[in-house]
Amino acid sequence: MKPVAIFRHSPTEGPGYFAIFLERHGIPWRLIAIDEGAAVPPTADDYSGLCFMGGPMSVNDPLPWIEPVCSLIRNAAEKNLPVIGHCLGGQLMSKALGGCITRNPVKEIGWGDALGEDNPVARHWLGTFAGQRGTVFQWHGETFSIPTGATRLFANGHCANQMFALGPHLAMQCHVEMTPEMIAKWCEQWADEAAAVADQPSVQTPAAMEQQVAERLPVMRQLSEQLYSVWIKGLAR
């Protein structure tokens, strides 16, 4: 089986639980460290699927790798190779597939809830989470639009477009890949960002985020398992 390509755009925003999940299911993966200057492959031919992680940059920034990444996503979509995106990764998917990325009305930082849609596509991807509230972790200030032909899967009052699916592809604004170590590192690294918008109801303090890990991470892990289990079914084998 060809590996899943995992694109990392920032040193502390690695694959987290997504890589653990792949390994538990015997699926090989290969890290492509964009943050270290790795080249974007011209096609998806060497991979069974593509995964794009988060990052503090905007897809609207004039960075040299953004258009090659968008071209690669379109190439995978043409071949029906599954693509999955987390936060920035989801925004890259939206842009590549005809959507746009704009500033969200508020920043979302920390633990929160999102409501699953209840339609045939949502039921396929979300299982028992369709029509129900799910726990998610957030750290973003921008949001994506839903590309033509895609279906929204999750929403909340702070950010309407939390997740969409298009065929075998899954794009998320939220971070379901988090591990305790990642949460601790982000709380340390970006504490000033959270403090600057601490008056917003969509933002938690780093202390609150870390205090709720034991309670909320296992709940979110159930959602991660559901989403990733559906996504890997489409991998080229």
Residue by residue, DSSP assigns 69-87 as HHHHHHHHHHTT--EEEET
DSSP bridge pairs for 7: 32, 52
- Residue 198 confidence (pLDDT): 86
Domain that holds residue 69: 4-232
Asked if the structure places residue 188 within a domain, the reply is yes
Residue 210's CATH number: 3.40.50.880
pLDDT along the chain (237 residues), means of 10: 98 98 98 98 98 98 98 98 98 98 97 97 98 97 98 97 98 98 97 91 96 98 98 93
DSSP bridge pairs for 144: 101
Chain position carrying tokens 């699916």: 165
Distance from CA of residue 229 to its chain's centroid? 15
Question: Residue 137, SS3?
Answer: strand
- Residue 187 confidence (pLDDT): 96
d(CA 7, CA 94) in angstroms, rounded, equals: 16
Asked if the structure places residue 31 within a domain, the reply is yes
Asked if the structure places residue 237 within a domain, the reply is no
- Residue 236 confidence (pLDDT): 84
Backbone angles phi, psi at 113, to 5 degrees: -120, 155
Bridge-based pairing of strands 83-86 and 49-52 is: parallel
d(CA 173, CA 54) in angstroms, rounded, equals: 9
Structural domain count of the chain: 1
Asked if the structure places residue 171 within a domain, the reply is yes
